[in-house]
């Protein structure tokens, strides 16, 4: 079942199911590889920004933006 990225425990690997955001946010996420079907590793979820690892890179997402990224655990 899909849930917002903000609700995932650190250390969990997830797959992006959907992104519910406007064009600007979608473009920014796409540029760092966060697109439906992409696999991410959650490094930190809070308080503060959500930190994820995509490919070999680590990115910080504001909580509002991270809440728009719907994911499911890979396992």
CATH code for the domain in which residue 56 is found: 2.30.30.90
Structural domains counted in the chain: 1
The CA distance from 32 to 70, in Å, is 16
The pLDDT value given to residue 75: 76
Mean pLDDT over all residues of the chain? 95
CB count within 10 Å of CB 19 equals: 18
φ, ψ of residue 25 to 5 degrees: the values are -65, -40
The pLDDT value given to residue 14: 98
The gap from C-alpha 31 to its chain's centroid, in whole angstroms, comes to: 13
Higher pLDDT, 75 or 73: 73
Structural domain including 11 reads: 3-73
Model pTM score = 0.93
Cα angle 53, 56, 61 (rounded to 5 degrees) comes to 30
């Amino acid at each position: 079942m899909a849930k917002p990225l903000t609700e995932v425990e650190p250390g969990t690997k997830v797959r992006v199911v959907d992104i519910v955001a406007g064009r600007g946010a979608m473009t920014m996420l796409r540029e760092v590889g966060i697109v439906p079907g992409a696999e991410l590793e959650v490094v930190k979820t809070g308080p503060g920004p959500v930190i994820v690892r995509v490919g070999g890179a680590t990115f910080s997402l504001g909580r509002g933006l991270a809440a728009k990224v719907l994911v499911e655990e890979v396992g």
